[in-house]
Every structure is written in structure tokens, then in C-alpha cells.
Amino acid sequence: EGIRIYQRLLRKTMADPTGPKSPTDRKKQISIRGLPELKNVAAVKESFNRHLHHTLVKDRHAATTRDFYGAVAHTVRDYLVEKWIRTQQHYYDVDPKRVYFLSMEYLMGRSLTNTMINTGIETEFEEAIYELGLELEELQETEEDAGLGNGGLGRLAACFLDSMATIGLPAYGYGIRYEYGIFTQTIKDGHQLEVPDEWLRYGCPWELPRPEYVLPIQFYGRVELDGWKDTQVVMAMPYDQPIPGYGNKTVNTLRLWSAKSPNSFDLSYFNHGDYIQAVIDRNIAENISRVLYPADNMFAGKELRLKQEYFLVSATLQDIIRRYKAGQAGRTGVVRSSFIQFANKVAIQLNDTHPALAVPELM
């Protein structure tokens, strides 16, 4: 089989001597330039159909309103992808001074409406969705509010990200990917009842997991002359969301950290019937990113909030330093070995006092 593949490639190369030959030349065919653009209503309808059938694997008879929303969201995200990749390529090539914004919460609102307004594609999508017999407003209402913030501090953080993208500032937002947000309010027998805000129940079409950038975060232990010993390690898994600027081609990144255990399942405990102990390490680790603002009227709550703050700070600073070392204006393979230029390439903004541990952690 390998010989037949080689013979076909050889014949193709002989028939087209100008075609790609080396692995480097062949990889040049993998490019954002070859992707179709959503230029008109027909292209939007085609992309919607493709995502409904290929991404969500539904037809019009089985699809629900949430499925139609998912197809629209993926179509809009496709439109963002080219701008998102080009923005990051530009930052890599130019190696500008970057702004890093740390916040424990972000009140982002619904991404579908905001993205269509910022990118100027709302009219085309409204017409395309109408022609498909659907109501765009109904689909927009289907989206869950991201459970990442609940008040003025979170809204301020979201506005900062929006503004920095709009003026084309090379910026990154960092936060925690809370599994349940804060809470959903219900009324029972005339009293308020707080229940978990399961905003990720159906997934989030705007986020992209980045397991290649997972980072270890250390807790507890003791410090000795030769290092930090006997620590409890929690892994920080990043999820990226696009932040489009208004009326331009800039798409910045919001990176959210999710806590994972390096030992998520202990088979020996499970085989002995201790099913709770088999997953206790995973539960302890994932509690860090479980809920926004856990109750802190007891010691365990205070400790958990402190762990959340350090988790955000440690993961973010490791990521900032990794990006700084990999800089050098697009020179592949060149790594910075000195921190002399750090202040000229990195600006860190702390939103309120929650990420204040960034100061001693960076030192």
C-alpha cells in the first residue's frame, strides 16, 4: 500500500513539476487563505446546513431549537476563525508589547448577538435565517449566559476585553472556567431558592480546549533549599474564547483555566469497591473551578477562594512567561533566555484585589 501511494505521488509530481515536493512545501498548502468566506446570504445558509448535518449530525426533522442555535453559532465562529488566526499570527510576527488582563470574573453576556454586531454580519444572518424559516431572535434567546461573572466587576472586565480588541490592542484575558457559575434563582413557596447554574450543560460552541498548554499548579507542601517538596498538584487546562473588536479585523483571546486532577481515577480503590475514594482526587482538584465565589463563611470556603486565586495567578503567569520566551518577532525556534526585555513586552493588569498574588508569584 505504501509503494502504491508513493507511485501515485511520484506520477503527480512528474505531471506537475511545479507542484510541492519537500515536506515544507507541501505543508504550505495548509493555509487559512484557502477557506471559504461568508460573503453573502447564500454562503451563510450553506454553512448553516453543513454544521447542522456534519457538526451536530441532525436533519431538520430531528433538530431542536438548540440544535439550530448551535448551527448558527458554529457558522458565526467560522467567520471569526480567519480573523482570529490572522490576529495571532500578526502578534507572533511583530512581537509587540502585550497586555494581560487577570480577573476572577467576566460578565460576558451572550456571545452570538455581540459577535454578530461587532463583526457587522447581523443583517446577512437575519436574512439567511429568515429564508430558512427560523427566527434569529428565538435562537439568540436559546444561548445560555456564560456563568463567569455576576456583577459590576465582571461587566467591567468584559468591557475592557471588548475595548482592547476594538482599538486593536494586543491583549489577552485570563480567568477561571467555572463549571456552575454562581447560582440560578428560583422561587418556591414564596422564598428564594438557589440552584446550580449549569451553563455548560449543553456545551459551549465558542470555546476551544487547548490541552497542549495544560500546566501544573502546586499547593501545600514545604519549601527546602533545593525546592518545593511534597506538593499537591492540580493541572490547569486552558479553554480559549474569541473576543472580536467592533468594526475591525482584530480578534483577541480570553483564556479560561479549568482545574483537572493528574490522577483522576484510582483503579485499585474501584476494584475493592471503594468507588468514592477512587475519584476523590479528581473531585478535590475540580472543586477549584467548580463554582464562582463559593461561600466563605467557614474555613473550607476561605481556603477554596484562596486556592482559586492562586490557581488563576500561577497558571496565567506560567503562560505569560512561556509566550514571552517564545517571542523574538516570529523567529521560529528562537527562545528568549533573559528577562531583560520582560517589562518591554509584558503589561499585567489586575482586576480588583483577587489576583494580587500575581505580584509575589512573579517575583
> pLDDT tens, 166-218?
999 999 999 999 999 877 888 888 888 888 888 999 999 999 999 999 999 99
Task: Tell me the pTM.
Answer: 0.88
- Rounded CA-CA distance 50/87 in Å is 26
Residues contacting residue 355 through CB under 8 Å, at least 6 positions apart? 102, 103, 104, 309, 312, 313, 316
In this structure, what DSSP letter does residue 333 have? Answer: T
Which neighbouring-strand residues pair with 208?
Answer: 240
Closest CA to 90 of 207, 222, 322, 252: 252
Please report the pLDDT score of residue 153 as a whole number: 92
Low-confidence stretches of the chain (pLDDT beneath 70): 1-2, 5-7, 9-21, 24, 26-30, 32-38, 328-334
Closest CA to 28 of 20, 39, 16: 20
- Rounded CA-CA distance 10/239 in Å is 42
Please report the pLDDT score of residue 13 as a whole number: 59
- Rounded CA-CA distance 361/174 in Å is 16
Question: Three-class SS of residue 100?
Answer: strand
Block residue for cell numbers 456583577: 151
Please report the pLDDT score of residue 9 as a whole number: 61
Please report the pLDDT score of residue 4 as a whole number: 72
With residue 284 as reference, give the H or E element that holds it: helix 280-286
